[in-house]
Structure 1
Amino acid sequence: MTTIPDQSEVTRTDSAAGRARLLAALDGIADELQVEGPACDEAGRLTDRTMELLRDSGLGWIWVSKDLGGLELSASDATLVFERLAYLDGSIGWTGGIFLGSGPFLAYYDKSVAKSILADGVPNISATAYPSGRAVQVEGGYRITASYSYCSGLPNADYVLCTSTLFDGDQPLPAPPLMFLVPASEATLEGNWDTIGLRGTGSVDFTVTDAFVPEHLAVSPFAPPRNPGIATAGLLPLIHLGRLSWASGTARRLLDEIAAHASRDPKPGAARLADNPVFRTEFADFELAYRAARALGIEAIAELDAALASGEQLSRRATTVLTGASVHMHDVCRDIALWAFNKGGGTALRAGKLQRVVRDALSGGQHAIAGRSLLPDVGHEFIGAPPELQWLGPVLAELPAL
C-alpha cells in the first residue's frame, strides 16, 4: 500500500533541499566574496566580480515561485541563507538580500509578464518605499517623474520599482499609490551616499524624468499578489524578515571577530583580552542577548511560515512580533558593535575586518524600517490597538481604499 505524502511535508523537504543547495553555493564563493567586500566599499557599489559570483550561485531563484521555475524557499529556510550572506559581508548581504527579493516583487505581475521578465534569468530589482513620485496616466500606460532617496542597490540593478501617486494634471487623485517597474537605465543617479558604513550598497538618490511605463508593469502594493509563493505573506513582513536576517548575520560576525581578536597572542608583557574575566563576562552577556534575540526572530518567522502553510493571512499580531523582533535584533547588533569597537582598541580603529563590520552594523541600525521609532506602535499592539488598524510601512494606520 502506497502512502501519499502530505503536501506540506513535501514542500518543507523541497525547501530544506533548496536551502542546503544555496548554503553550499555560498560556502563555495565565501572567500572570494569577502575579498571583494573592500572593493565594493571603494566603488560605492557591488563590483562586477561580486555580481557575477552572486548570479552564478543561483541565489536569485530563492523566492521565485515554483511555477515560474524558482526554488520558493520557506521563510525560515531563506532566513538562514540571508544570515549567511550578511555574515560574509555587510554591503553584499544588504544589497544581495534586496536582489533576492525580486521573486516576491514579480509575483505582483501577471504570470505571462513575470515569465517574460525572467526570460534571461532573475533580474536585480531595486525599489523605493515612499510614494514621492508623480504618475500621470496616458495611452497604454503611465508617465513617471520623481525624485527618490536611499535606493539600495540601484547602481547594480536591472530595474527599479518606483512607488508613485497618481495625478490628474496638477491634482493628486484619491487613489492608493502604484508601483511602476522602470528600467534602471532610465534612472539618473544623483549620488549622495558618502557614509560611515554599508558603502558598497550604493544607496543613492535618483531621479526619473517623464519615463513611460506600460500599463502591465504598474501594480498596487496593497492588492494580493497574482502568483503563489512567499509573496502572499505581504511585502512588509518580507522586508522585516530581510532586515532581521541581515542584523542577525552581522551581529554573529561581530561576536566572532571580537572573540578572535581577544584570543590572539598578546605582545610581550601583555595579557590576552580573553583572559580578562570582565571581558569574558561582558562577552557572555552579549552572546546571550544575541541568542535570545535570534530565538525571538526564529519564532516570529516560523509563525509566518505557519500562516503560509495554512493559506491564511499573517495576522497583525504576528506582523507586530516580527517587526519588534527586527527592531530588537538591530538594537542588540548596535550594542555589540559599540562594545566591540571599544574592546577592539587600535585594531577596531584601523582599517580591517573588525572596523568594517562595526561600521556596517552601526549604519544598518539607522534604517527607518528597523528603528526604535516603530516601538510605540509595537507597544500599541501589545497593549491593545483598535482592530481596524493595519501595518502600513512603519506605522499602524487604516488601510487606504482600493
Structure 2
Amino acid sequence: MDAVLDGVRELLPVLRERAQETEDRRALDPEIVKSLAETGLFRLLQPSRFDGFEAHPLTFLTAIREIASACGSTGWVASVIGVHNWQLGLFPDRAQQDVWGQDPSVRMSSSYAPTGKITAVEGGFRVSGRWSFSSGCDHATWVLLGGIVPPRDDGTPADFRTFLLPISDYTIEDVWHTVGLRGTGSNDIVVDDAFVPEHRSLSFNDTSRCRCPGQEQNPGPLYKIPYASLFSYAITTPLIGMATGAYRAHVDYTRERVRVSYVGVRAAEDPHSQVRVAEASSDIDSSWLACANNMRELMDLVTAGTRLPMPLRLRIRRDQVRGTELAIRAVDRLFENSGGRALAVGTPIQRFWRDAHAGRVHAINDPERALSMFGRGEFGLPLNDAMV
C-alpha cells in the first residue's frame, strides 16, 4: 500500500495550493476527486473481488490524515467517501453487485441521521424525506441514508437501518453555506417515495454484532470489525489531520513573525509561544498515537480470529472522542498564538480552525455519549448502544 500513500503525498502540494479555491467553490473540483481516485485511495477499504485492496484501516487513516493536513475539506470528503466502500462490503452481495457489478469505481455519499420516513412493504421499504450533510454527494451516484423502520404489527421491534439508493431515486439540493468545511459540498438529499429492496438495507444491530451478510462473500478480517470503531475514526482522523496542517502552518509562520509587544522580537523567541507549540504538538501526537494503537490492536485480534473484547471497543470510542477534543484544543492553542494577521481570508490557520470546529459538531464526536458508555462498561453496567 506504499504506492497509494506515495501517490497521496505527491498530491499534497496541489491540495494545499488549491485549498482556498476549494472553499470558495463550496465543493471539491472533479479533477481533485479524479486525482485522489487515481492514487487508489478509494479502493483501500474496498473488497478485493471488486478490485479493492482490503488494506489495513491504518493505511487508509494515514492517507486521510495527510490529505486533511493540506486541505480540511478534501480530507473530510476523502474520508467519508472512502469508508463507504468498506460499509458496502457489509451489505448483502446483491447490493454490492448493484453498485460495483459493472463499475467498481462507483462512489457513494451518505447521511445517517434518521430524518426521513421509512415504511416496510413487501420485498423492501418505501423511503421519503430529506437528509442533510451528505458530504461529497456531487461526486457520488449512490447514497447511504439512515432511517428507522417502525415497529411492526407482528411484534417486530423498531430497527435503525442504512438504506442504499441510486441517484435516480433522489435529488441533491444545494444548501451548503457554512463557516467551516465549506469545500465539502455537504448538501441535502431529497427522496420522494422511493422503493428500496430488502437487500439494499443493513441493520445497525448487525453491524454492532459484527455479523453482517456481506461477510459471506467478503470473509477477510477487515469486514469483521465494528462499524462504530472504523466509522468514528474516519471522522476524527480528518480533524487530527487539520490540526497537523494548522501546526505546520503555524510553525512556518511563527519562525518569521515579529511581535510588536516585544519591541521587534521574533515570535519564535517568545518562551510563551514555545510552550504553546509544545502543548499543541503533544496533543496532536497523543490523539493520533492512541487511535493508531487501538486500530492495530483491533485488527490484530480479528486477524487472529479472536473475539473482540468489549473493553477494547469502548476504549476505541473513548479515545476517538478524546482524539477529537485534543485536536480541537491544539488548533485553538495555535490560533490563539498566531496574532491578528492570522484572521485574514486565505490564511491556512484560520481555515483549519474553522474547518476543525465544523467537523467537531458531527454527532459521532459527542464526548458525553462515548465517555458515558466507557464509564458504564468500567462499572459493569449493561450497555445498549449500537455505536460501540
Please show how residues 218-229 of structure 1 align to structure 2 within 5 Å: 218-223=201-206, 224-225=211-212, 226=214, 227-229=218-220
The aligned counterpart of 1:363 is 358
The aligned counterpart of 1:161 is 144
The aligned counterpart of 1:263 is 255
CA separation of 1:44/1:173 partners in 2, compared to 1, >3 Å: closer, same or farther?
farther
CA separation of 1:365/1:137 partners in 2, compared to 1, >3 Å: closer, same or farther?
closer
Query: For residues 332-365 of structure 1, what are the alpha-carbon distances to aligned partners after superposition, in whole Å with 9 as ceiling and x for unaligned?
Result: 2211222222221233100221221111112112
How many residues align? The count is 375
Asked if the contact 1:136/1:169 (under 8 Å) is kept, the reply is: no
User: In the alignment, is residue 36 of structure 1 matched against residue 42 of structure 2?
Assistant: no
Asked if the contact 2:376/2:383 (under 8 Å) is kept, the reply is: no
The aligned counterpart of 1:325 is 319
2:52 to 64, 67, 70: 70
2:285 to 291, 303, 316: 291
Asked if the contact 1:45/1:156 (under 8 Å) is kept, the reply is: no
CA separation of 1:138/1:357 partners in 2, compared to 1, >3 Å: closer, same or farther?
same
Asked if the contact 2:119/2:150 (under 8 Å) is kept, the reply is: yes
1:124 deviation in Å?
A: 1.8
User: In the alignment, is residue 188 of structure 1 matched against residue 179 of structure 2?
Assistant: no
Please show how residues 2-401 of structure 1 align to structure 2 within 5 Å: 18=1, 20-111=2-93, 113-118=95-100, 119-166=102-149, 174-223=157-206, 224-225=211-212, 226=214, 227-229=218-220, 230-264=222-256, 266=258, 270-351=264-345, 352-381=347-376, 383-386=378-381, 388-393=382-387
Gaps of 5+ in 1: 1-17, 397-402
Could you tell me the TM-score, scaled by structure 1's length?
Answer: 0.85
CA separation of 1:33/1:313 partners in 2, compared to 1, >3 Å: closer, same or farther?
farther
Asked if the contact 1:22/1:57 (under 8 Å) is kept, the reply is: yes
CA separation of 1:64/1:281 partners in 2, compared to 1, >3 Å: closer, same or farther?
same
Q: Alignment partner of 1:334: what SS?
A: helix
Query: For residues 31-81 of structure 1, what are the alpha-carbon distances to aligned partners after superposition, in whole Å with 9 as ceiling and x for unaligned?
Result: 222233222222222122222212222211100122332111112222211
Q: Alignment partner of 1:213: what SS?
A: strand
Query: For residues 102-121 of structure 1, what are the alpha-carbon distances to aligned partners after superposition, in whole Å with 9 as ceiling and x for unaligned?
Result: 22222123335424522323
Find the aligned partners of 2:67 and 2:327 in 1 and give their Cα distance.
16
Could you tell me the TM-score, scaled by structure 2's length?
Answer: 0.88
Asked if the contact 1:233/1:313 (under 8 Å) is kept, the reply is: no
Asked if the contact 1:91/1:198 (under 8 Å) is kept, the reply is: yes
CA separation of 1:198/1:207 partners in 2, compared to 1, >3 Å: closer, same or farther?
same
Asked if the contact 1:244/1:325 (under 8 Å) is kept, the reply is: no
Find the aligned partners of 1:296 and 1:153 in 2 and give their Cα distance.
28
Aligned letter for 2:358? S
Gaps of 5+ in 2: none
Find the aligned partners of 1:340 and 1:267 in 2 and give their Cα distance.
15
Asked if the contact 2:77/2:136 (under 8 Å) is kept, the reply is: yes
CA separation of 1:59/1:349 partners in 2, compared to 1, >3 Å: closer, same or farther?
same
Asked if the contact 1:142/1:214 (under 8 Å) is kept, the reply is: yes
1:145 deviation in Å?
A: 0.8
1:198 deviation in Å?
A: 0.5
1:273 deviation in Å?
A: 0.9
Query: For residues 203-222 of structure 1, what are the alpha-carbon distances to aligned partners after superposition, in whole Å with 9 as ceiling and x for unaligned?
Result: 23332111122333223232
Asked if the contact 1:87/1:252 (under 8 Å) is kept, the reply is: yes
Q: Which moved more, 1:128-137 or 1:302-311?
A: 128-137
Find the aligned partners of 1:185 and 1:343 in 2 and give their Cα distance.
49
Find the aligned partners of 2:37 and 2:9 in 1 and give their Cα distance.
15
The aligned counterpart of 1:15 is none
1:167 deviation in Å?
A: 5.0
Q: Alignment partner of 2:178: what SS?
A: coil
Aligned letter for 1:335? R
